[in-house]
Amino acid sequence: MTHAGGYAADTRVRWIEWLPWAAALGAFFLLPEYLPLGARILIYILFALSLDLVVGYAGIVTLGHSAFFGLGAYTAGILGAKAGVTDPMLQMAAAALAAALLGIATGALILRTKALTLLMLTLAITQVCVEVANRATPITGGADGLSGVVVAPILGQFKFDLFGKTAYVYCLIALFVGWYLARRMVYSPFGATLAGIRENSARMHAVGAPVYWRLVLVYTLSAAMAGVAGALLTQTNQFVGLNALGFEASGELLVMLILGGAGRIYGAFVGPVVYLIAQDYLAKQFPEYWYFGIGLILVLVVMFARGGILGLVDKCIPFLKPKSSARVSAR
Amino acid sequence: MHSILETQKLCKSFGALTVADDIDFRLETGARHALIGPNGAGKTTFVNMLTGVLAPSSGRILLGGEDITAVRRAARVKRGLGRTFQINTLFRHLPALDNVALGVAERRGIAHRMWRSASSYAEVKNESMELLATLGLADEAAARVADLPYGKQRLVEIAIALGLKPKVLLLDEPAAGVPSAEADRILRTLEKLPSEIAILIIEHDMDLVFRFARRITVLVQGEVLVEGPPEEIARDKRVHDVYLGEQHHA
């Protein structure tokens, strides 16, 4: 069961939906030493949310989402390090635009295919992007990465500080905007159409839906969101490397989404939190074997909680389930 | 009478196998027409060509006098060609209401909108509820389609097609696997449909066919064997031989 949208949904924000924001604000005040990790988590939540729109809602399988994340990261980085465009909002807008353009160009090409072919094509696009970034050393820094990214104070007022306070709040606001837009989309008629395409694209054709163009549209919007997440990563680190583009980033993100639960918005919140905190903890405790712990968590989730951690919570605590369908009134 | 749907020399081959051979077919406006034939006669292939699922090897398809042979599936629906499937093709994990509403929203041109919530479009919800109520499914509107009995799933199929307000409705075995009480409900619903909708029904239930259709086309091995009013078809010896067999001789 996924997060309910559709024509019978109760779209009011439930109290439980405010919990992540309360937790994020609480972390800001109570865990100041973890703010850099917190900002990283917020960025990955936004990235995972963008993937959820594509994988969880539209049913597009992809291992190439890092191409958009990486392009956003490099766009912001190149603007800040090479072009003298230091305004963070401008950098972010340019990153979103660049990623959206790549999204529409590649989406238009590959979204006529399905399943393994589609998966391989997304992977191929990512690899092409990595290779381009690797070769274009004068612009991207090549294998050494792009350092010296200059980011001006946000709105001319809030400078990125050493302790990561500004970065954390900046990422939190960006995530909130992304969440708000994604939530509106999921509950909209367009979101209902995506659910229909995921469920049965043949039937969507038979009701007259331009399935291909709807997929291209959601793919493009999702790419733009991933591009923004990439820009945030560059701006908070003032550095961008090839790993932002690579297949590993896509795979890692998919693991995070599966861990949290795909197709339910908040799976994209839970997955990165669990994954990155586990990674942080395990890497400190078992520097050589920390991937074993991550792998074990994933195996357990896949075997015993197909809907991810939130799917498990749904099963265990029935009152947390969305009330969508109960509200259809017979006339 | 004016022809709303027409095929001219429609052919379909898969390699050496010809499954539709020079089919000339006319569906009049407001027709109640049945397409019958033994298994493997090419009935579903014919419907799949009409709806754009399969491209014909040669020949033309005209809808309202316009050539739609190269028109895409979704665009044919927008021009008024609705269908149901032989095997339920539904959004199994969505509520029955959403199954119908997705088509209604598409027809009303709001399905691409992203800002307002879907549930705030009362006109879509109300129309979908009315359609479900017409088919006796009002109480099941909130139920996941996968949880409904097969017969009710068939009714949801029909409700989706009706939500498209088609000019031509192609019903591929609407009563297959449906208990007789629900088959009766399907028949009554079809009989109540506006007379301007042309209906082509493909069905094995001869009782339903002869009660519903005012004209019948018999398809055998991809070719039209005979076409005419039910009483003529019932008397035709060739039809008895290839299709109705002993059942109708008796």
Report, as an integer, the average pLDDT of A170-197: 96
Q: Which two tokens stand for residue B242?
A: 């290839």
Residues of B in contact with A214 (CB under 8 A): 112
Every domain of chain B and the residues it spans:
3-89+165-249
pLDDT at B175 exceeding the cut of 60: yes
pLDDT for A237-259, tens place per residue? 999 999 999 888 999 999 999 99
Measured CA to CA, the distance from residue A246 to residue A136 in angstroms comes to 15
Express each pLDDT in B83-108 by its tens digit. Answer: 988 888 899 999 999 999 999 999 99
B118 vs A contacts (CB less than 8 Å):
5-7, 9, 187-189, 191-192
Radius of gyration of the CA atoms of chain B, in A? 18
Q: Does residue A260 lie within any of the structural domains?
A: no
Tell which wins on pLDDT, A21 or B205: A21
Token readout for B19 is: 């499954």
Q: Looking at the domain assignment, is residue A19 inside a domain?
A: yes
**A229 in a structural domain:** yes
HSE at residue A216, side-chain half, CA atoms within 13 A, is 16
Q: How many domains does chain A have?
A: 1
Which parts of chain A fold into alpha helices (H)? 19-30, 35-52, 66-81, 88-110, 115-135, 137-140, 165-187, 189-199, 201-206, 211-237, 247-260, 267-285, 290-304, 308-316
Task: Inform me whether the pLDDT recorded for A318 exceeds 70.
Answer: no
Contacts of B250 (CB under 8 A, 6+ apart): none
Reduced to 3 states (helix: H, G, I; strand: E, B; else coil), residue B234 is: helix
Strand B168-172 and strand B198-202: the pairing is parallel
Q: How far from B87 is each of A129, A186, A282, B32, B98, CA to CA, in Å?
A: 43, 29, 51, 22, 19
pLDDT digits (tens, 9 = 90+) for A262-315: 998 999 999 999 999 988 888 888 888 888 888 888 888 888 888 888 988 888
- Is the pLDDT at A324 greater than 70? The verdict is no
Query: Which of A52-56, A88-92, A192-196, B241-245 has the least mean pLDDT?
Result: B241-245
pLDDT tens for A204-229 read 999 999 999 999 999 999 999 999 99
State residue B240's pLDDT score. 84
pLDDT exceeds cutoff 80 at B41: yes
Residue A314 maps to a domain:
no
Of A87-96, A315-324, B18-27, B191-200, highest mean pLDDT: A87-96
| pTM: predicted TM-score of the whole model, two decimal places | 0.88
What digits encode the pLDDT tens for the residues A95-134?
999 999 999 999 999 999 988 999 999 999 999 999 999 9
Q: What is the pLDDT of residue A1?
A: 41
Cα A82 to Cα A135: distance, rounded to the nearest angstrom? 17
Nearest by CB to A209, which of B51, B106, B119? B106
Separation in Å, CA of B39 to nearest CA in chain A:
23
Distance from CA of B156 to the nearest CA of A (A): 12
* Full residue range of the structural domain in which residue A143 is found: 15-246
Residue of A nearest to B76 (CA): A208
Q: What is the pLDDT of residues B24-40, one digit of tens each?
A: 999 999 999 999 988 88
Q: Decide if A253 is inside a domain.
A: no
Query: Do the Cβ atoms of A187 and B117 come within 8 Å?
Result: yes
Q: Are A206 and B77 a contacting pair at CB < 8 A?
A: yes
Does residue A294 belong to any structural domain of this protein? Answer: no
Task: Mark out chain A residues that contact chain B at CB-CB < 8 A.
Answer: 1, 5-11, 184-185, 187-193, 195-196, 199-200, 202-211, 214, 217, 324-331
Does pLDDT of B145 surpass 90?
yes
Residues B128 and B107: their CA atoms lie apart, in Å, by: 12
**ipTM computed for the complex:** 0.84
**Nearest neighbour of A205 by CB, restricted to B73, B119, B130:** B73
Judged by DSSP in three states, B130 sits in: helix
Is A258 part of a structural domain of the chain?
no
Confidence of residue A322 (pLDDT cuts 50, 70, 90): low
Per-residue pLDDT, B243: 63
Say yes or no for a CB contact (<8 Å) between A7 and B121. yes
Q: Is pLDDT above 80 for A328?
A: no
Which CATH code, of 3.30.565.10, 3.40.50.300, 3.30.70.270, 3.40.50.1220, is assigned to B3-89+165-249?
Answer: 3.40.50.300
What are the structure tokens assigned to A202, written together? Answer: 């043949």
CB contact under 8 A, B94 and A195: yes
Domain assignment present for residue A171? The answer is yes
CA dihedral over B233, B234, B235, B237, signed as positive or negative: positive
Tokens coding A219:
């793919």
Higher-pLDDT residue of A101, B180: A101
Extract the tokens encoding B169. Answer: 């409705």
Q: Which residue of A has its CA nearest to B48?
A: A206
Task: Express as a percent the part of chain B with pLDDT over 90.
Answer: 64
Distance from CA of A304 to the nearest CA of B (A): 21
User: Which residues are CB-neighbours of B116 under 8 A, at least 6 positions away?
Assistant: A188, A189
* Inter-chain touch B118–A5, beta carbons under 8 Å: yes
Given a cut of 70, whether residue A178 has pLDDT beyond it is yes
The pLDDT mean for chain B works out to 90
